[in-house]
Structure 1
Amino acid sequence: MLGTRMSAFLKLSKRDLKYDLPASIVVFLVALPLCLGIAMASGAPLFAGVLTGVIGGIVVASISGSPLSVSGPAAGLTVIVLGAIQDLGAYETFTLAVLIAGAVQLVLGILKAGMIGNYFPSAVILGMLAAIGITIILKQLPLAVGLSESHAFELDNGGGITAFSDTIFSAVNWGAAIICFLSLAILIYWPKIKTLNKVPAPLVVVLVGVGLSMAFAGSSWGLNPDHLVSIPVVSSFTEFTGLFVFPDFTQILNKDVWIVAFTIAIIASLETLLSIEAIDKLDPFKRNSPTNRELLAQGVGNMTSGLLGGLPMTSVIVRSSANANAGGRTRQSAIFHGIWLLAALVAIPSLINLIPLSCLAAILLHTGYKLANPALFKKIYHKGLDQFIPFTITVVAIVATDLLMGVGIGIVVATFYILRANMQNAYKFNIEEGDFKNEATLTLAEEVSFLNKVPIQQKLYNLPKSVNRVVINGQHSKFIDKDVIEVIKDFEQNALSKGLEIELNDINYKKKTYRKKQKLQKVI
């Protein structure tokens, strides 16, 4: 039975190989610098970042049921990881927390906690995609022109704008900028040439970037080592195995390890579920990924990563969107991308280190623009303010803070609009005027919750003075909250005192629902 399930997990599609193989190269080219950058930002060994990408591709994708999801070290966890490594005092202790976090995710998958992701509003998910696109663009712009982050904010005292401009332009490496601009042109126009578009544009970008980097060597446009990819170079199997870091199991009873583990497990699971929901929206075939199985896959992946000295991983929207945009069809694209990462790490690290960061930045700039396309903002705006406002606030909040905080703010705003719509749609109301009677009819909705109490109460107690007959119809309601029943019951007594004629249909006064029709004559 287990063998049958594993064969189902690992089943590949020869039919889709012509789509998945080129897409895997694109994802590999996008993932490599991201793995290295996230490792650096997390205060972890560079090897750990690439190792996590390998595990995310080969291990997680083999178990996952998502056709387009690509897992790896997540930028959203860098602050948590950096703080955890510092607080725990040793990287070996941190990897133990990663292993435990994976076990927690495994339990969440078994308990079928993946359904949580289905309750996130679509406006928030689309806002998350757009915000990630904007964040990618902002983060890659310095690399695109050969700037470091320190250059961008380096000002001479008293220099003002002039000093800022002088500093920026003097720090720009024009060789890197030319490579980036040419790379963007290739990414935009290469796919439009039918005779050439069978070769992936990002692969062409890398080849052109390496060629120009060599051509610029020795000139004023020459690239520095900081402008190139840098991964560890090993010359023997012993050196390779020496890069692995194993957990310190002597710290298993350390409460701080468990706090870090549960924090990583919860945040990584939420990021994964959000990403899976977003990735399914990018899927041209509109397939639904099994979220519980994804949690199981992430659990196994993080346990493996922690055991071998890697970083915590999630399903990552940047790599996944690159996979979808490159034409990936099945999860074998993610598996192959993991194989390419492993091959680059072991076989050709010196060649990979020739790739300019600026041409990889161009790939990410192009991906970021697709995620934050102005047409998306226009499309959401035409859906109405109840969609556009949560969408926009989510975008701004994520860019200004971080992924989880921004999504949380977006969900709060979206929930407000959901509740408001629910309150407004609690009933239908109309008044029919006659010669002797003006009849007001209030027809309750199918679901009437306690949130509808106030609008129904306000409508009943603010009837026009001309109304002398009221009909409250609950025939279409499957559920009426007890608080609303009390409001109707009190209004009935109020109607008697005012001499109104009232009719109640299918209003639940007791535990059983019954049809009640009565006419109360005017009290003299």
Structure 2
Amino acid sequence: MLAAPKDLAGIRRDVLASLVVFLVALPLCVGVAVASGVPAELGLITGIVGGLVAGSLPGSSLQVSGPAAGMTVLVLEAVTEFGLGALGVLVLATGLLQVALGALRFGRWFRAISVAVVQGMLAGIGLVLLLGQLYTMAGRPQPHSGPEKIAGLPRLAVRIATDRASLTSFAVGATTIAVLVLWRLLPPRARAVPAPLAAVALATAVTAAAGPHVAHVEVRGLLRAVRPPGVDDLGALAGPAVLGTVVAFTLIASAESLFSAAAVDRMHRGPRTDYDKELIAQGVGNTVCGALGALPMTAVIVRSAANVQAGARTSLSRVLHGVWLLLFAALLPAAIGVIPLAALAGVLVHAGTKLIPVKEIRPLWREHRGEAVVLGVTATAILVTNLFEGVLLGLVLAVVKTAWETSHLHVDVRAAADGRLLTVTLTGSATFLRLPRVLETLEGLPKGHPVELDLSPLRHLDHACRTALDTWAARQGATVKGVPIGAASGNADGVRG
């Protein structure tokens, strides 16, 4: 439910904060839609739903939802593969799955995803977004894959240097990036205008006054952009490729939203986020977005941080930001059509660079080298393959790394006083990851000596190790101390004192 401020001062703060968030969200909603390969109005629709629907539901009181740069790459891949008509059903299914996961109290488990995987996911998205939007800044079509984007950069540079139209378009985007970077150096009063809005407005004004021939956003109107999924579209959910995309949408949108909620909670002293309710709120919002054929919705840290920093106290601010987006889209749709595409591409190039945790990589490599490897592999895999496969590889690698680090095993071989009996003591956790080392030690023992295998110090003995030790002991005639080889499987695995 919408929480309203209890005093006029609180209402005034929330209204002012909503205006700030609206000004931040406006260019980002349009830019994310264009970069996703869909009409600009669909980004505004998602922003409106994020404010009016998700903003009025319980969960997190101050974080703001809408179309996110982090979903751009996945949406573009889905639209390219399945067509724009399938977007609504993909988002609708994502929303319903999020509602179900929230109702089953899975919200808290999304926080268990490795931070390195999430950072790698964002870094990979940032790289793909940055590389792709460089082509849009120059008015050129993007190559489809990450390697093709990289390989095409020299040709793109030559094109910019030799073609006047490309150079002009690229200059508009580069100027937009420069404004975004330098905006923070201005006096606080000037920075009251959000940097993305100022950069896009300046680029729009310059191109309108100077009259260079650059591409602009195409405008069809809010109602014409709405395309609810039909019966034929719903039938596409039976395909495994579509279901895989829905799972990817759900995983990434939910993880981004709940990680954003954790970050926003550290910015204020108000009520903490209920992760299960927030997941349901995101799911309801995405269900509505899917029914309208719009972009998927996530909580967005940039808009959420702007909301907190602007002094918001309740969820009224995020609901009102949706109202302002709706009024703008309904009353001033032609204003979108004068925005240069190169300026929006510049905004997204800047957003892409901010997704890459450059400052954190070096200390992470020094202190947690394994986590840095997971981050790097995830980002590289996303760039080389696609978002879903890259994240899946990152998750698998994180699980394997954790299993390897927790399966510490020490093998100690000692000879008795008579020099005949050999005692092999295993200490720690005996898992399949350490099995090659254990077997190598056992098979390297001197032949013809009786062997005692002491398993009593083990904390854990998994089925793979148990089976291998059973086979080796039976073949060598070894005696076993601690865990009886050949006992029932229910007694073989687990924690041992």
2:356 is matched with: 372
1:31 equivalent among 26, 29, 32: 29
Q: Secondary structure at the match of 1:429?
A: strand
1:201 to 195, 199, 205: 195
Comparing 393-402 with 206-215, greater Cα deviation is found at 206-215
How far apart in 2 are the matches of 1:176 and 1:101? 37
1:15-414 correspondence to structure 2 within 5 Å: 17=14, 22-38=20-36, 41-42=37-38, 46-63=40-57, 65-66=59-60, 68=63, 70-72=65-67, 74-75=71-72, 76-85=74-83, 91=85, 95=88, 99=92, 102-114=95-107, 117-118=110-111, 120-145=113-138, 147-149=139-141, 165=158, 169-172=162-165, 176-196=169-189, 197-217=191-211, 222-224=212-214, 226=215, 228-232=216-220, 244-248=226-230, 255-256=235-236, 259=239, 262=243, 265-276=246-257, 278-279=259-260, 283=264, 285=266, 292-307=276-291, 309-315=292-298, 320-323=300-303, 326=306, 328=308, 335-414=319-398
Q: Does the 8 A contact of 1:441 with 1:470 survive in 2?
A: yes
* Alignment correspondent of 1:236: none
Q: 3-state SS of the aligned residue for 1:311?
A: coil
Report if aligned partners of 1:144, 1:176 keep a CA contact under 8 Å in 2: yes
Cα–Cα, structure 1 residues 26 and 420, in superposed 2: closer, same or farther, change >3 Å?
same
Equivalent pair of 1:430/1:441 in contact (CA under 8 Å): yes
Separation in 2 of the partners of 1:139 and 1:198? Answer: 31
Shift of 1:134: 1.4
- 2:439 — aligned with what? 457
- Matches of 2:349 and 2:225 in 1, distance apart? 32
Structure 1 residue identity aligned to 2:29: A
Give distance in 1, aligned partners of 2:248 and 2:53.
21
Aligned residues: 464
**Deviation digits for residues 284-327 of structure 1 (CA, Å, limit 9, x no counterpart):** 718986554344334322332343x32351427xxx24336647
Partner of 1:520: none
* Aligned with 2:427 (options 437, 444, 450): 444
2:64/2:307 contact within 8 Å kept: no
Change (3 A) 1:53 1:261: farther
> Retained in 1: the 8 A contact 2:101–2:107?
yes
- What amino acid is the match of 2:131? L
TM-score, normalised via structure 1 length: 0.71
Contact 1:101 1:264 survives alignment (8 Å)? no
SS in 2 for 1:353: helix
State the Cα deviation string for residues 415-472 of structure 1 (Å, max 9, x = none): 443444355x1x2234678976798663433x54455544433334435789988562
2:258 and 2:279 in contact (8 A); partners too = no
Q: Give percent identity, aligned residues only.
A: 20
Aligned in 2, Cα 1:163/1:440: closer, same or farther, shift over 3 Å? closer
The equivalent of 2:481 in structure 1 is 504
* 1:160-187 C-alpha deviation (Å, 9 max, x unpaired): x899825753144555444444433332
Structure 2: gaps spanning 5 or more residues: 145-153, 493-497
Q: What is the CA deviation profile of residues 227-265 of structure 1, one whole-angstrom value per residue up to 9, with x for unaligned ones? A: x334345xxxxxx6566445546x59x744654875554
- Are the aligned partners of 2:132 and 2:143 in contact in 1 as well (CA < 8 Å)? no
Instruction: Report SS of the residue matched to 2:67.
Output: strand
2-side partners of 1:404 and 1:297: how far apart? 24
Give 1:111's aligned amino acid. L
Task: State the shift of 1:392 in Å.
Answer: 1.8
Matched residues in 1 for 2:250 and 2:156: separation?
A: 45
Flag the 1:470–1:277 CA change in 2: closer, same or farther, 3 A: farther
Q: Offset of 1:26 from its aligned partner?
A: 1.8
Shift of 1:131: 1.2
User: Contact 1:298 / 1:313 at 8 angstroms: preserved in 2?
Assistant: no
1:190-227, CA deviations, whole angstroms, 9 ceiling, x for partnerless residues? 3234444344322332342233233313xxxx244x2x
Distance 1:488 1:163, change over 3 A: closer
Is 1:474 paired with 2:456?
yes
TM-score, normalised by the number of residues in structure 2 = 0.74
Question: CA 1:54–1:173 in 2, change beyond 3 Å: closer, same or farther?
Answer: same
1:368 and 1:83 map into 2 onto residues whose CA distance is 23
Tell whether the 8 Å contact from 1:112 to 1:292 is kept in structure 2 after alignment: yes
Q: Distance in 2 between matches of 1:273 and 1:180?
A: 31
Change over 3 Å in CA distance of 1:389–1:333 after alignment to 2: farther
SS of residue paired to 2:390: helix
